[in-house]
Structure 1
């Protein structure tokens, strides 16, 4: 990464989009298509600003996103995952190198398990029903923010001179 302010601005915008995704998922159990599209459409600007080459860097990013979408669409078809979650993770795959994306998936899984336990217990104690809808976008967004934190910190330091 070249370390220019444009890169950090794009990563900051991605962080804001992840926060919006988390809050809308909590409120409505839905991640809007416009938000997922904005995340996906911001990736090429990030690639350009980061100095990625078309071959193999950008091709790898697109392949990772397609593989993510295909695998998670299968989970959606089995009703194990929401459509907005599938699209958000696929869009995030456009932004992150494969090993970084793997880190995001591991962190997301751990946070998602904890979130599921908390929401299911709360839902059951309040309603006595076992059909809790888990806002998994919160786990995705949290994992994304944790993964992006070093980039955001470096950007903040370069802007403030700290």
Structure 2
């Protein structure tokens, strides 16, 4: 019974990521309540997906913490916003060690594309202030890529 809830939780996560991307685009803000909600819902997903607390969930939580700390350094150096860091940490709680590199790769590619597009746009609008890349969009794209594949896999395995 618990496994039947997992796809719905992933769909809820997808909507949360879409909301984060939209908010980062419109206001350059990812609300704390959103990242906090994503993080707090992860243990429910672990239960629904049949992920054992030890060692699986412990490894996931450890990797999420390491990723959060790594990107917190980028924040401290002015390279990333605090909302982006919290969103990455929260999203990582939903991903297995095999999914995490895929998410980071897609996130990096999307972030690079967004940055290049904004630099090109800025050339035509020199009066604009400095470029603030809404990296929440790239984070969301990376997350949506991985969880989209996961949802499709779950649906394909159903009788």
Q: TM-score, normalised by structure 1?
A: 0.90
Q: Deviations over 1:51-106 (max 9, x none)?
A: 11121011101101110111111110000011011000001111101121111001
Q: TM-score, normalised by structure 2?
A: 0.92
Q: CA RMSD in A?
A: 1.9
**CA contact 1:25–1:135 (8 Å) conserved in 2:** yes
**CA contact 2:4–2:48 (8 Å) conserved in 1:** no
In the other structure, the counterpart of 2:54 is 55
SS at structure 2 position matched to 1:126: coil
Offset at residue 155 of structure 1 (A): 4.9
Offset at residue 154 of structure 1 (A): 4.0
Relative to 1, partners in 2 of residues 1:127 and 1:5: Cα closer, same or farther, differing over 3 Å? farther
In the other structure, the counterpart of 1:68 is 67
Q: How many Å separate the matches in 2 of 1:108 and 1:98?
A: 16
Q: Deviations over 1:26-60 (max 9, x none)?
A: 00001000000111011000001111112101110
Offset at residue 20 of structure 1 (A): 0.1
**CA contact 1:120–1:132 (8 Å) conserved in 2:** yes
Q: Count the aligned residue pairs.
A: 159
In the other structure, the counterpart of 2:121 is 122
1:34 matched to 2:33? The reply is: yes
Q: How many Å separate the matches in 1 of 2:82 and 2:118?
A: 20
Give structure 2 stretches of 5+ with no counterpart: none
Give structure 1 stretches of 5+ with no counterpart: none
SS at structure 1 position matched to 2:94: coil
Q: Deviations over 1:137-158 (max 9, x none)?
A: 1111011111111222245567
